[in-house]
């Protein structure tokens, strides 16, 4: 049975802050993920609809793209910026995230609040070194996406709202690889890679994997193995091995821990090779 | 709180609660086109357009709609007008059960509002949010493109110019064994050889107008318009809402239940447990009288046998109160050891699942063996021993769920004569009426079962699953009760497909001729017997019928486990048997270095052959069978050509130079199913004539979306010389329509259609007699065609004139008839399934690229609905082959409790499907028809498994073919 007793749709930040700051009653914004829980299992007693706060936007700036936290996943998919930039990984991740109906109601903040569904958007943000903006009343703080996701539900304190994600433009190549039961099913494992290369020298590497650990995360050992090295087949194989070793997956009906760890390696290898091939293009 | 929004272009105010979903609010407001299919936004049945965007309303709060524009299907047109998108869906055959149709139509509108010239890919993508379990999405995608053309103002050719991928409805006609005037077993046995050589080939080509025509479904308009047609599309004054408490334990005694707190909750009207309802033993499978044993269920028990088993049921003023009351019921469980593997379950010392003394007909309760089957013909042991070559292989199949988009739902109420009305989403209204009577202590005469439109069944509703609980609550409270499963309960507490372990043994000559075939099966029937023994018998029949062999044996055990209960599911044992059989045949062919098709054709049954196992085994008892129509060779040719089977001989084709990790493969399977249960299934019909020369056709046959109302109407129309529009079809209501066993066993066209044809012929004879009276002549040589009776000398009267004469002029009478039909013949449809796949040899991921199927279903009465049956079945079979599986944790609790995890295929990820009909003429069927409803689900799994072997050389003997299984097998191979 639903816990929701009150519903508010604040028109401005001041009202939102007042509502979200109430003590003694479980208050939370309505954030729909790509794998939402039934309404009667939502835990909040006060549901806060933030749709009037202007958090649905995609703004292209010189150094980055800014995405409002309540931007729908479908809006990401439809936006030509995400088809043309970042080697299209956001477009791809959005497409895999859910069906179009769910993509219309699921938001980027919703996706980042729940790792039960597809995590490919989180992977894309992780390897992009995105920064999230968190607002409480009039104050805003910034947090790296890595830190934000690592803290899980504790990342936000009472009254805080995730308002924006900044995705910096970087001079590098991005790739995303996945394995799933069917083409549209949630991934069993997915791996995303960002490489900044000078010739064949890897200046910077970011590798993020979902399905190979309790939540999507950067694989730092893989990144260390790659950085400041010359790109080579042997290095890719080594990175794949490290990914398998660094994986700490659980087993479920989509795949066992052993399979997931193996896929972490295989998909890391593929993502690295895809990125390298993109660079060659 | 009050919300204001624009609903279908009209300003609307609704009073809602903070927690109320938009779905509930709209339905309360009578917007019935918005359907409940799940609670997680994943099926899309509840979709509306909010400000032009398609959104699922089950995860949207009603309050969020405030200030927005909402469009539902009701808002597309006014009155009798039909929107071009609706028209396209109606014409294209895109509507089967119609439960998801309003959402699909809105999804189409959302696309076409933005894109005037949509691509095929965009059409598939647009329908992606709306899960459909009936159509396989082929026709709906066509409908999107057709609708776009309509909206562009283009001339769109009528569909019946070239309606479907069938080159001709009636030709070329494959060989037929005939004629047979009446079904039955020939005295003195079967003398087929003479018949083959002397009998003429029968064809209805010159004699039918409505039969064989791709008529639009008689229920298509109301479904396209989202009218109130389904069980839940109504309300009753004072209606209560039921909710069910289920077991969290796989096996436990209930020491006590304390319901006092729940009963004390304001708004709760009844709480029922095992203490409150009579203990009457029954079996819930919707089957003919007497239900097959074991009878091992009661409505509410003091023992639970699986996670999800019934514990208590509550009726309250609102569903929210009912659910809150469930949390207040205190159950004292004595948790018992549980067993989940059937082979473990049979061992000495395993937990005894049915230790109750009053269960009837359990074979060996101490070893959890619900039933056994042993059937054989010839001498299998001798033939195996004497065979030059012997093979043995074991295969395993998994538990899958029917996943009809409309959950189980019923509404029960007392009518003005104190009779209990059960309005229910069922495939078997008459069985429900008979079976529920003893459980609720009412005579059959005081029970009326009404079947409205059904939002998909696929066997899951061949069951009295929830009606008894709702009825108990109505009896306890005196008030109407609505009881609907949640999607989660569909997975935890409804029915599913039986998992099997099947071992085949075969003996052959060196030349590859089958000498002996043995099938040993262990079937997991979960916590209750239900359909266990009959599904198993069908598995035996299907596994041992296709290939000609005098020495066959079926040896099976049906075993209890502490898992949710399998039941009837389209194919009913066939898919399990055919996965094993057609994989086995492929393995033998490869071992013998023979072409897989050549090997099969060397052994397959053909026209005139008897089917030996049918004399020893049958769902309703053994009934000898002979093949009287056979189009298999043409099926293989058609479907094989469509997939370009020749590539199987090119080793290089398996490799893609651009993608070194990909291997391509082709596989196939031969299909042979049954038509109805011989000697058991019965259908009947009533036809009465109206003033204007139209006819009411009343049938107990249960259209669950298959189009049977249309097909039966076509048979009546053809026989009565009228267009289909002059047949008013009504099914099924136990107070109004005559008896029919219901929608299962691929029987409706054949059995109920036989009844309709007989009935229409009787009416036609009465019409001739009336015409003879009017024209002062005899009935000899009269023809009834184009709504007119014509005599050999050229005089004629219209049906309207005949009706008026019969009602008002002379020897007044109601022209009407009733007829029943049963058959001792169960003519098998034949078919061929082909698959093209790709295997990623690093990840194990199998991607099915194309599926082709060709089926000989005799005469397709309606080629459009017949092909739709194949396409939908193939889509279900695809999930069975590669992804669907009810997964459990170690405590027996289901992990796949939502569509997102269970995952049925959506439109945007489907492979190309091509379905073909290969018409033959089945002498025992109405207008030459036999079954088409189930055969399409039998062959995808073996065809895909065989294709994986072709691609990689690995043989997977267990489905679903998940990436990890392939990956492990490939590693083992290395």
Within 8 A of B125 by CB-CB distance, chain A residues are 100
Interface of B with A in 322-351 (CB under 8 A): 323-324, 327
Tell me how long chain A is: 281
Position B194 pLDDT exceeds 60:
no
In chain A, which residue's Cα lies nearest the Cα of B104?
A101
* B69-71 and B2-7 strand pairing: parallel
Position B189 pLDDT exceeds 50:
no
Last residue within a domain, chosen from A168, A187, A218: A168
pLDDT at B160: 55
Q: Same structural domain for residues A66 and A159?
A: yes
CA distance linking residue B7 with residue B11, whole number of Å:
6
* B906 part of contact set with chain A, CB < 8 Å: yes
In this predicted model, what pLDDT tens digit does every residue of B249-274 receive, in sequence order?
999 999 999 999 999 999 999 999 99
In chain B, which residue's Cα lies nearest the Cα of A253?
B887
pLDDT at B201: 35
Task: Kindly report the nearest CA distance between residue A250 and chain B, in angstroms.
Answer: 13
- The DSSP call for residue B39 is S
- Place B179 in a pLDDT band, splitting at 50, 70 and 90: very low
pLDDT at A146: 95
Q: How much is the mean pLDDT over chain B?
A: 94
Instruction: Give the angle B306-B525-B501 at the CA atoms, nearest 5°.
Output: 125
- Place B175 in a pLDDT band, splitting at 50, 70 and 90: very low
Position B190 pLDDT exceeds 60:
no
Last residue within a domain, chosen from A152, A168, A184: A168
Q: Same structural domain for residues A183 and A157?
A: no
CA distance linking residue B391 with residue B599, whole number of Å:
15
Within 8 A of B329 by CB-CB distance, chain A residues are none
Among A32, A105, A181, whose Cβ lies nearest the Cβ of B962?
Answer: A181
Instruction: Give the angle A222-A226-A230 at the CA atoms, nearest 5°.
Output: 160
Q: Same structural domain for residues A122 and A149?
A: yes
Q: Same structural domain for residues A163 and A179?
A: no
Q: Same structural domain for residues A68 and A126?
A: yes
Last residue within a domain, chosen from A107, A138, A168: A168
- Place B157 in a pLDDT band, splitting at 50, 70 and 90: confident
Position A222 pLDDT exceeds 60:
yes
- For residue B786, CA distances in Å to B207, B760, B799, B800, B855 come to 13, 15, 9, 12, 32
Mean pLDDT of B480-500: 98
Q: Same structural domain for residues A196 and A273?
A: yes
Chains A, B: CB pairs < 8 Å:
141
pLDDT at A152: 77
Instruction: Give the angle B51-B53-B59 at the CA atoms, nearest 5°.
Output: 100
In chain A, which residue's Cα lies nearest the Cα of B488?
A38
Task: Kindly report the nearest CA distance between residue B114 and chain A, in angstroms.
Answer: 12
Q: Is B188 left (phi over 0), alpha (psi -120 to 50) or beta?
A: left
Structural domains of chain B, ranges and CATH numbers in brackets: 2-31+48-72 (3.10.20), 84-162 (1.10.150.120), 170-175+628-674+825-974 (3.30.365.10), 682-822 (3.30.365.10)
Asked if A211 and A244 count as a contact pair (C-beta separation under 8 A), the reply is no
CA distance linking residue B835 with residue B671, whole number of Å:
13
* A183 part of contact set with chain B, CB < 8 Å: yes
In this predicted model, what pLDDT tens digit does every residue of A109-156 receive, in sequence order?
999 998 888 999 999 999 999 999 999 888 999 999 999 999 877 888
In a domain, A214, yes or no: yes
Among B130, B323, B887, whose Cβ lies nearest the Cβ of A1?
Answer: B323
In three-state form (DSSP H/G/I as H, E/B as E, the rest C), the secondary structure along chain A is: CCCCCEEECCCCHHHHHHHHCCCCCCEEECCCCCCCCCHHHCCCCEEECCCCCCCCCEEECCCEEEEECCCEHHHHHHCHHHHHCHHHHHHHHHHHHCCHHHHHHCEHHHHHCCCCCCCHHHHHHHHCCCEEEEEECCEEEEEEHHHHHHHHHHHCCCCCEEEEEEEECCCCEEEEEEEECCCCCCEEEEEEEEEEEECCEEEEEEEEEECCCCCCEECHHHHHHHCCCECCHHHHHHHHHHHHHHCCCCCECCECHHHHHHHHHHHHHHHHHHHHHHHHC
- Does the beta-carbon distance from A266 to B843 stay under 8 Å? yes
Q: Which residue in this structure is represented by tokens 């396409």?
A: B871
Q: Same structural domain for residues A178 and A223?
A: yes
- Does the beta-carbon distance from B40 to A9 stay under 8 Å? no
Within 8 A of A49 by CB-CB distance, chain B residues are 61, 63-64
Q: Same structural domain for residues A164 and A187?
A: no
In a domain, A53, yes or no: no
Task: Spell out where B57-102 has E strands.
Answer: 69-71
In this predicted model, what pLDDT tens digit does every residue of B774-812 receive, in sequence order?
999 999 999 999 999 999 999 999 999 999 999 999 999
Q: Same structural domain for residues A112 and A127?
A: yes
Within 8 A of A186 by CB-CB distance, chain B residues are 900, 903
Q: Same structural domain for residues A108 and A162?
A: yes
In this predicted model, what pLDDT tens digit does every residue of A51-81 receive, in sequence order?
999 999 999 999 999 999 999 999 999 999 9
CATH number at residue A239: 3.30.390.50
- Does the beta-carbon distance from B129 to A1 stay under 8 Å? no
Tell me how long chain B is: 974
In a domain, A194, yes or no: yes
Position B176 pLDDT exceeds 80:
no
Q: Same structural domain for residues A41 and A92?
A: no
Q: Same structural domain for residues A147 and A182?
A: no
Within 8 A of A253 by CB-CB distance, chain B residues are 885, 887, 895-896, 901
In chain A, which residue's Cα lies nearest the Cα of B21?
A39
In this predicted model, what pLDDT tens digit does every residue of B435-455 receive, in sequence order?
999 999 999 999 999 999 999
pLDDT at A156: 87
In this predicted model, what pLDDT tens digit does every residue of A168-206 receive, in sequence order?
999 999 999 999 999 999 999 999 999 999 999 999 999
In this predicted model, what pLDDT tens digit does every residue of B695-752 receive, in sequence order?
999 999 999 999 999 999 999 999 999 999 999 999 999 999 999 999 999 999 999 9
Determine which of A9, A45, A182 to mutate to test the interface with B (most B C-beta atoms within 10 Å).
Answer: A182
Considering chain B, what percentage of its residues have pLDDT values greater than 70?
Answer: 95
* B551-560 and B369-377 strand pairing: antiparallel
pLDDT at B209: 92
Mean pLDDT of B594-620: 96
In chain A, which residue's Cα lies nearest the Cα of B849?
A183
**Total structural domains within chain A:** 3
ipTM for this model: 0.97
In this predicted model, what pLDDT tens digit does every residue of B516-527 receive, in sequence order?
999 999 999 999
User: Helix (H, G, I), strand (E, B), or coil: what is residue B469?
Assistant: helix
In a domain, A1, yes or no: no
CATH number at residue A114: 3.30.465.10
Interface of B with A in 44-103 (CB under 8 A): 44, 47, 53-56, 58-61, 63-64, 66
Position B181 pLDDT exceeds 80:
no
Q: Which domain holds residue A65?
A: 58-168
The closest of B372, B306, B310 to B340, measured between CA atoms, is B306
Long-range Cβ contacts of B415-421 (<8 Å, 24+ apart): B415/B448, B418/B446, B419/B446, B419/B447, B419/B448, B420/B446, B420/B447, B420/B448, B420/B471, B420/B474, B420/B475, B421/B448, B421/B449, B421/B450
Position B171 pLDDT exceeds 90:
no
Position B182 pLDDT exceeds 70:
no
pLDDT at A157: 86
* B207 part of contact set with chain A, CB < 8 Å: no
DSSP assignment of B122-166 equals HHHHHHTTS--SSSTTHHHHHHHHHHHHHHTT-----GGGS-SS-
Peptide bond into B592 cis (omega under 30): no
Chain-centre distance for alpha carbon B849: 25
pTM: 0.95
């Amino acid at each position: 049975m639903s816990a929701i007793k009150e519903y508010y749709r604040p028109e401005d930040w001041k009202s939102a802050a007042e509502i979200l700051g109430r003590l003694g009653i479980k208050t939370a914004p309505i954030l729909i993920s790509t794998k939402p829980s039934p309404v009667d299992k939502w835990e909040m007693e006060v549901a806060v609809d933030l749709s009037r706060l202007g958090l649905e936007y995609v703004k292209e700036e010189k150094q980055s793209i800014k995405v409002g936290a309540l931007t729908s996943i479908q809006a990401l998919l439809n936006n030509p910026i995400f088809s043309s930039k970042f080697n299209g990984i956001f477009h791809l991740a959005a497409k895999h995230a859910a069906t179009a109906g769910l993509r219309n109601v699921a938001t980027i903040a919703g996706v980042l609040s729940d790792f039960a569904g597809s995590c490919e958007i989180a992977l894309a943000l992780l390897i992009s070194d995105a920064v999230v903006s968190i607002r409480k009343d009039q104050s805003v703080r910034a947090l790296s996406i890595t830190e934000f996701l690592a803290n899980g539900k504790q990342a936000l304190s009472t009254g805080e709202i995730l308002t924006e994600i900044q995705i910096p433009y970087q001079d590098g190549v991005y790739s995303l690889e996945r394995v799933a039961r069917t083409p549209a099913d949630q991934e069993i494992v997915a791996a995303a890679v960002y490489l900044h290369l000078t010739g064949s020298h890897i200046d910077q590497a970011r590798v993020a994997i979902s399905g190979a650990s309790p939540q999507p995360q950067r694989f730092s050992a893989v990144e260390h193995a790659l950085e400041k090295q010359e790109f080579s087949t042997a290095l890719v194989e080594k990175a794949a091995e490290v990914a398998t070793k660094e994986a700490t997956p659980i087993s479920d009906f989509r795949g066992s821990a052993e399979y997931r760890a193996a896929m972490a390696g295989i998909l890391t290898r593929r993502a690295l090779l895809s990125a390298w091939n993109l660079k060659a293009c | 709180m009050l919300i204001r929004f624009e609903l279908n272009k009209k300003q609307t105010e609704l009073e809602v609660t903070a927690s109320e979903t938009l779905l509930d609010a709209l339905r309360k407001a009578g917007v019935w086109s918005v359907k409940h299919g799940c609670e997680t936004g994943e099926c899309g049945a509840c979709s509306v357009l909010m400000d032009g965007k398609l959104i699922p309303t089950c995860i949207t709060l009603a309050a969020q709609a405030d200030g927005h524009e909402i469009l539902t299907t009701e808002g597309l047109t006014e009155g009798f007008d039909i929107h071009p998108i609706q028209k396209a869906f109606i014409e294209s055959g895109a509507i089967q059960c119609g439960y998801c149709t309003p959402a699909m139509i809105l999804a189409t509108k959302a696309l076409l509002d933005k894109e005037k010239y949509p691509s095929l890919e965009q059409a598939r993508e647009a329908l992606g949010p709306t899960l459909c379990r009936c159509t396989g999405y082929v026709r709906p995608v066509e409908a999107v493109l057709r609708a776009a053309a309509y909206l562009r103002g283009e001339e769109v050719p009528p569909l019946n110019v070239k309606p479907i991928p069938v080159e001709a409805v009636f030709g070329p006609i494959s060989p037929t064994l005939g004629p047979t005037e009446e079904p039955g077993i020939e005295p003195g046995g079967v003398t087929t050889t003479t018949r083959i050589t002397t009998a003429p080939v029968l064809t209805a080509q010159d004699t039918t107008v409505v039969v064989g025509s791709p008529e639009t479904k008689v229920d298509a308009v109301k479904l396209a318009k989202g009218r109130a047609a389904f069980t839940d599309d109504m309300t009753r004054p004072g209606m209560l809402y039921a909710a069910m408490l289920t077991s969290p334990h796989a096996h436990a005694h209930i020491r006590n239940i304390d319901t006092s707190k729940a009963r004390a909750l304001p708004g709760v009207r009844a709480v029922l447990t095992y203490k409150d309802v009579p203990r009457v033993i029954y079996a819930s499978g919707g089957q003919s009288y007497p239900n097959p044993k074991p009878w091992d269920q009661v409505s509410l028990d003091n023992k639970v046998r699986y996670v999800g088993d019934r514990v208590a049921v509550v009726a309250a003023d609102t569903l929210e109160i009912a659910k809150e009351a469930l949390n207040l019921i205190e159950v004292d469980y004595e948790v018992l050891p549980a067993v989940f593997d059937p082979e473990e379950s049979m061992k000495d010392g395993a937990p005894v699942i049915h230790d109750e003394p009053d269960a009837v007909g359990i074979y060996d309760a101490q070893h959890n063996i619900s039933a056994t089957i042993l059937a054989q013909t010839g001498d299998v042991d001798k033939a195996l021993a004497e065979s030059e070559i012997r093979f043995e292989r074991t295969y395993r199949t998994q538990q899958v769920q029917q996943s009809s988009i409309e959950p189980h739902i019923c509404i029960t109420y007392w009518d003005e004569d104190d009779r209990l009305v059960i309005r229910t989403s069922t495939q078997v209204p008459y069985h429900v009426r008979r079976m529920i009577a003893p459980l609720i202590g009412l005579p059959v005469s005081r029970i009326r079962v009404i079947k409205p439109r059904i939002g998909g069944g696929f066997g899951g509703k061949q069951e009295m699953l929830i009606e008894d609980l709702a009825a108990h609550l109505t009896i306890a409270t005196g008030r109407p009760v609505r009881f609907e499963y949640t999607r989660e309960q569909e997975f935890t507490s409804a029915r599913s497909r039986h998992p099997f372990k099947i071992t085949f043994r075969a003996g052959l000559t060196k030349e590859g001729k089958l000498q002996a075939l043995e099938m040993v099966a262990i079937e997991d029937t979960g916590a209750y017997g239900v359909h266990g023994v009959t599904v198993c018998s069908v598995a035996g029949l299907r596994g041992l019928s296709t290939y000609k062999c005098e020495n066959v044996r079926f040896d099976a055990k049906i075993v209890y486990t502490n898992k949710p209960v399998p039941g009837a599911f389209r194919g009913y044992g066939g898919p399990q048997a055919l996965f094993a059989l057609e994989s086995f045949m492929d393995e033998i062919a490869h071992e013998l270095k023979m072409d897989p098709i050549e090997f099969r054709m060397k052994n397959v049954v053909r026209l005139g052959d008897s089917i030996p196992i049918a004399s020893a085994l049958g769902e309703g008892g053994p009934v000898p069978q002979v093949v009287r129509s056979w189009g298999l060779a043409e099926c293989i040719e058609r479907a094989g050509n469509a997939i370009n089977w020749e590539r199987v001989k090119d080793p290089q084709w398996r490799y893609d130079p651009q993608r070194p990790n990909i291997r391509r493969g082709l596989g196939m399977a031969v299909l042979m199913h049954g038509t109805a249960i011989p000697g058991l299934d019965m259908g009947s019909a009533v036809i009465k004539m109206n003033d204007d020369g139209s006819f009411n056709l009343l049938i107990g046959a249960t259209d669950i979306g298959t189009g049977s109302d249309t097909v039966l109407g076509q048979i009546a129309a053809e026989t009565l010389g009228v267009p289909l529009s002059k047949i008013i079809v009504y099914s099924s209501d136990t107070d109004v329509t005559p008896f029919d066993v219901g929608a299962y066993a691929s029987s409706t066209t054949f059995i109920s259609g036989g009844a309709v044809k007989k009935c229409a012929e009787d009416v036609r004879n009465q019409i001739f007699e009336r015409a003879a009276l009017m024209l002062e002549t005899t009935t000899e040589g009269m023809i009834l065609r184009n709504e007119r009776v014509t005599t050999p000398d050229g005089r004629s009267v219209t049906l309207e004139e005949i009706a008026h004469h019969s009602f008002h002029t002379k020897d007044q009478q109601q022209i009407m008839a009733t007829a029943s039909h049963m058959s001792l013949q169960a003519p098998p449809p034949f078919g061929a399934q082909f698959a093209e796949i790709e295997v990623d040899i690093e990840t194990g991921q199998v991607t099915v690229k194309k599926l082709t199927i060709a089926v000989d279903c005799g005469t397709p009465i309606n080629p459009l609905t017949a092909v739709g049956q194949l396409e939908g079945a193939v889509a279900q079979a695809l999930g069975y082959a590669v992804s669907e599986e009810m997964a459990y944790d170690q405590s027996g609790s289901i992990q796949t409790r939502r569509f997102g995890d269970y995952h049925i295929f959506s439109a945007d990820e489907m492979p190309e499907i091509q379905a073909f009909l290969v018409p033959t003429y089945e002498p025992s069927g109405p207008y030459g028809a036999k079954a088409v409803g189930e055969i399409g689900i039998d062959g995808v799994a073996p065809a895909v498994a065989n294709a994986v072997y072709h691609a990689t050389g690995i043989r997977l003997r267990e489905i679903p073919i998940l990436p990890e299984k392939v990956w492990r097998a490939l590693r083992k191979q290395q």
